[in-house]
Structure 1
Amino acid sequence: MKRLFLLVSLLVLSKFSAQTWATEDQYIQRFAQYAVEEMEKYKIPASITLAQGLLETGGGQSRLAQEGKNHFGIKCKEDWTGKTMKHTDDAPNECFRVYDDPRQSYEDHSIFLSTRKYYTNLFNLDMKDYRAWAYGLKKAGYATNPRYASILIGKIERYKLYEYDNTNSSEVLYAVLRMYPDLKDDRSFMAKLEPSKATPKREPVTVTVPYKQTTFAQQQKRVERIKSKAEILNSILILSHPNEGLKYIVIPEDTTVKFIANKFKVSESRLMKWNELDSDVLKKNEIVFLESKNSTGNTATYKVASGEDMHAIAQKFGVKLNKLYAKNRMDEGQQPSAGQLIYLIDKKPRN
């Protein structure tokens, strides 16, 4: 029995390791090629790109990297027309880009840096001066973490990522092998070093699939698998908001304030007050706080998306609505326009 359990465990572990990157070294081995290719095209140090990828994905383990193949946490923005996914970062359910392949994420990261005016000065720096690039990114506002530059530099120096700044795309695999000599025993890696062999082109084969009618019993089973509205509502989980861990929930199906109040043992009046509600009807995907919101946000500013009002922004960032109006010197009830910059921490300066 013990041997059987061990065998099953090894099979599960091997399947899991094939789909993820268990260490930062494995991440580097897999994506150094992409970073060097981007360096050749866009003049961004490969060491910087790799260090950012390591940090943003937690060595390839983040949900964005695993599910969205998004390795740099790039949000949708107004010019994105591709696939998207919701993820909590500065606020709940923020929109992030989804890629079909990590290579697309690497190129989009390069395009992002090379076409945004905030990063123009970076390209005046020596491409092999990774320290200057790290501090330049922080100065340009790429990240809010005050230690962002030193964290990047730490990863670059720990893993000697600067070595990839001195190679080209045709030599990356040999550079990786020099850094990780044990890979010489890895058949799949060594196979990449061999010249590719052309494979004969095969003509597509047409397969005829007979129509199969779904029986009533099969339809019934599908219906049974669908959760009822009550089951969905009863499975709501309390979440921790990025703004100082405020307790909140996301409404999975249309319901009422009374239902939420009864479920979480909070008075209806408090829920109405904390969330500045003018109706007891709660819509699907609406954010509801289970405690009083904060007077300030966890990020400095936010650019309004099409169709958003001040209440939606206040809920997204866990800020009291009246405080949000005050910070932006707007009259209560006044609504922002798409693209407008909303201040979440400091008051909007007077003209």
Structure 2
Amino acid sequence: MMFFSRFRRLILLSLGVFFLSVGAVRPDSVQASCGSVSCFVVIGSQQQVPMAGLLTVNAIYNYTPMEAPSGQGGSIPFSNQGSRTLTLANLNANQIRTLMRTVTFDMNYGLTERLGLQVTVPYKHVNSDAQIGGLTPVPYSDKGIGDVRVSLKYNVLPTLRSMIVVGVGVDLPTGDYGQRVQGGSLAESTLQIGKGNFGFVPSIYQSYELIPHRLNQFALASYRHTLKNSDGYKFGDEVNLSAGFNIIPVEQAPWFVLTQQVNYRWMQNDAMDASLFQFNPGGGAILLDPTVRFRAVPTTGSTYMAYSPGVMLNLWSYASMYFIAQIPVMRDFNGNLEQQVSYVFGLTKSFQLLSGS
């Protein structure tokens, strides 16, 4: 009885720490003007290669709010890819927020014991709003299937206690890139559901069981490069680095797993083909450079590091549920919207489609 009492206290303490961190997210109306980041954590069943004939499915919900830092929201420029103009601004702006909610359907299939095929289908819902100079906020909302990613993965080092999986993915331009705002102009690129062109994503994942069936560590590195789209806009390259461990704190309860990880992301500035203007509150924008050329969008690009605690529950054979919070510990978003505390809910289930031979 003493064991189960201590075990209950451990569960309550772990869940308390997790939900306390999640509680920092305000679920009330979230508004914004721009932002294109997302919550990113390592979920082992996504990165691993299933056994031959085994299909592993992840259903994942990401909640990612973004806000402009205090006193800096007025310097975000206007990028209009439709008219090929970039307008530098200095406005009295506040309440600039974006909420990105994503439901991802991720399928991993073992083609052989070492080669796997992964298809990731995101469904995105973007809500944004901005209060500028006391004017009435102009809301924006869009939802739909985003860019589908298709990946091949190969388990280079399969052993009983370790694995190294290398992969290469291709982002297909399936997401809508033609959404318009009030007035008929194209919504800025960072608010579009898709990126408008192909992307390429190499990755490497490593895992090792420090204590068999109790403690394992993992690490992931990935890189994304997206081609310039037909509107002359190119999303900046992205580097993701993550490391962490999973631990079963009580041997008699293998269904209860704690996960701890650190996530780092570096994003290059976006760039676009545009002429350059300076915003003029008293009249038309002032032309600074009429030449349409490839220009960096000043307040895009970011550096971000987060601590991500979570809980995994093994519900039944080959199935699990997980809850992970992502808490920023260091961030530099060049005065643009900063990613706030984000969280992930997910469910994993495996299906044996073909018997191994």
- TM-score, normalised via structure 1 length: 0.21
- TM-score, normalised via structure 2 length: 0.21
More helix by share: 1
Specify the structure having the higher radius of gyration (Cα): 1
